[in-house]
Structure 1
Amino acid sequence: MIWRCLTIKELPINEEIRDREVRLLSQTGEQLGIVSAREAQIMANEANVDLVKISPNAKPPVCKIMDYGKFKYEQSRKEKESRKKQKTVTVKEIRLRPSIEENDLNTKAKQAIKFLTKGDKVKVELRFRGREMGHKDAGLVVVKKFLDIVKEVGTPTRHPKFEGNRLVVTLDPKK
């Protein structure tokens, strides 16, 4: 017989409850007192519903007489509703180079403006290679130009920051 067959989300029901005494709640939520698990199971069977352990860490554990299938269905509906109300913010990434031409920079900026108007965050990353590492100030000028182009729709969360051989700044959409 397997006693530890529970997952974290699943509540023990009916015969899975192995405690001697439980604090019993009725279907309406009123307390019926502390009874043995067998008596609670008999009461649940008479009502033609399930006995569910809702608080296993309490002393004694709290069990409720309820229709478990209906309970799980309502829980899944509540989760769906909460997921509908959530807005997932995605981070789009735009890569630049220190030697980028003006038209290419404008094209990347237009793309960033499109992302920001959709409500996404934009991570701008300027990568340095080889000898370019000696001219970090040129990369900073390119990033400042980029930020000037997109300043109407996005605001930087912080100043551009060097992370190894990259210059990184994150833009949030303006509300």
Structure 2
Amino acid sequence: MRVVDEDGKQLGIMRTREALMLAQERGLDLVEIAPTANPPVCRIIDYGKFQYEAKKKAAEAKKKQVVINVKEVKFRPGTDEHDYSFKMKHAREWLEDGDKVKASIWFRGREITHRELGEKLLQRLEQDLADVGEVEARPRMEGNQMFLVFAPKRHKTSKADKSAQQKQGAAEGEGATSIS
């Protein structure tokens, strides 16, 4: 097998026992890196440290990921004004936080014959949320449900950025005094 030391220097091709003894002399481990290579490649490293660093890199990569959740608001064709505004405000908050919103209208029984009521409700919601979100999927029917998917607008600042800007503006306002 081909052996590489902890610094990345090639030690050449040697037998498994020789490589193991060399690793033990240095107080390190012999780890097979490329088993399918001809000859197989092994590396002399501290395996615990290797695992720790790999885990740390994976955690750092995961930290930088942006996770977008899809949250849902459910309506009925006869949804009252207060219920509509309450659900619309929640959808607005979710879009401002960077989540996608799925607005669905459930039709039960004979309500399915009045699809235009659902379409009007979704059009109204689309107009009310136009400043914070954009339609990702147009309204469509699936069984007894009509739905519309909103995605947050890209150029909008995040909620954390807004709060930081507000704090900065408040701090600047405190320092100013007026003389009359």
TM-score interval, smaller chain: 0.7 to 0.9
Deviations 1:90-124 (A, max 9, x none): 11110011111223212211110011111111111
Indicate the residue corresponding to 1:40 in structure 2.
19
1:88 Cα offset (Å): 1.6
Indicate the residue corresponding to 1:131 in structure 2.
110
Runs of 4+ in 1 over 6 A off after TM superposition: none
Indicate the residue corresponding to 1:114 in structure 2.
93
The one-letter code of the counterpart of 1:136 is R
- 54, 65, 81: which is aligned to 1:75? 54
Cα distance in 2 between the residues matched to 1:46 and 1:54: 20
Normalised by the length of structure 1, the TM-score is 0.84
Pair 1:28-2:7 in alignment: yes
1:135 Cα offset (Å): 1.2
SS in 2 for 1:104: helix
What runs of 5+ residues in structure 2 fail to find an aligned partner? 155-180
Indicate the residue corresponding to 1:98 in structure 2.
77
Deviations 1:20-75 (A, max 9, x none): xx211111112222211111101111111100011222222211001111111111
Q: Which has the higher helix share?
A: 2
Pair 1:144-2:113 in alignment: no
Identity of aligned residues (%): 42
Pair 1:170-2:149 in alignment: yes
Cα RMSD after superposing both structures: 1.2
Cα distance in 2 between the residues matched to 1:109 and 1:144: 12
The one-letter code of the counterpart of 1:88 is V
Indicate the residue corresponding to 1:7 in structure 2.
none
Normalised by the length of structure 2, the TM-score is 0.81
